[in-house]
Amino acid sequence: SNSIHEIKNTKLLTQKYSESLNAKYYYSNKGGPSPARNIGVKKSKYNHIIFIDDDTIVQKGFINNYEKTWLKSGNCKIIGGKVIPVSKLPIPSFVNKEFMWVFALNDLGNKCIELKYPQLLFTANISIYLTKLERNKKLFNEILGKRYLYNYVLFGEDVELCYRYQLENAKIKGMVDQK
């Protein structure tokens, strides 16, 4: 789970913008993002929910871009935005585009494209359409995305979610640039 400092900053930022963004802050001490995201799913009141990581920096018009993309996307299940990590270390030049996911890099260009298995999105910047029935279920696998012994993190709750929906033939799209 996050440090006390990160938790306090996330809570303060959410409280600062909660009225203007119609956002709420819920905390889970279960560890890992999946239990917290499942609380958000359960407490959500609307069909569209947006997930971002606490270290995600969003661009101006972030929510409006999601809204516009949903209006144009028909029966889509998941829409994801760009995820471009801010790092002091460059990605090695020998790493080709198909392995950028290792660096949590998700930049599909400036077009909204439908993704096919095994393409995926990261929950650092994602919006999901949920039915009322789905809001009462645990959407994210809580075994994944959790810290275990010796701080070992088992990643993949976002990968599992995308693949599960793709195997059910749900439409998943990578979103236009968030500018």
Mean of pLDDT over the chain: 78
Rounded to the nearest 5 percent, the helix, strand and coil shares of the chain are 35, 15, 50
- pLDDT recorded at residue 124: 80
> CA-CA distance, 173 to 66, in Å (whole number)?
11
Q: What is the mean pLDDT of residues 22-47?
A: 85
Q: What is the pTM of this model?
A: 0.77
Please say if the pLDDT value at position 62 is more than 80. yes
The CA-atom distances, in angstroms, between 48 and each of 30, 69, 83, 84, 91 are 25, 12, 19, 23, 33
Q: How far is CA 60 from CA 97, 106, 165, in A?
A: 27, 19, 29
Q: How confident is the model at residue 178, as a pLDDT?
A: 47
* pLDDT confidence bin for 130, thresholds 50/70/90: very high
User: How many Cβ atoms are within 10 Å of 63's Cβ, its own excluded?
Assistant: 13
Question: 6-20, 104-118, 127-141 — which is least confidently predicted?
Answer: 104-118
Cα(139)–Cα(170) distance, integer angstroms: 15
Q: What is the pLDDT of residue 179?
A: 45
Q: Mean pLDDT across the stretch 155-172?
A: 86
Which one, of 78, 80, 66, 40, lies nearest residue 168 by Cα? 78
Mean pLDDT of 41-58: 86
Pairwise CA distance, residues 93 & 100, whole Å: 11
Could you give the CA distance from residue 32 to residue 52 in angstroms, rounded to a whole number? Answer: 14
Average pLDDT of the segment spanning 145-169: 75
CA distance 41 to 32: 15
> Which segments of the chain are extended strands (E)?
48-52, 76-80, 113-114, 125-129, 146-147, 153-154, 171-174
Q: Does residue 101 or residue 68 have the better pLDDT?
A: 68
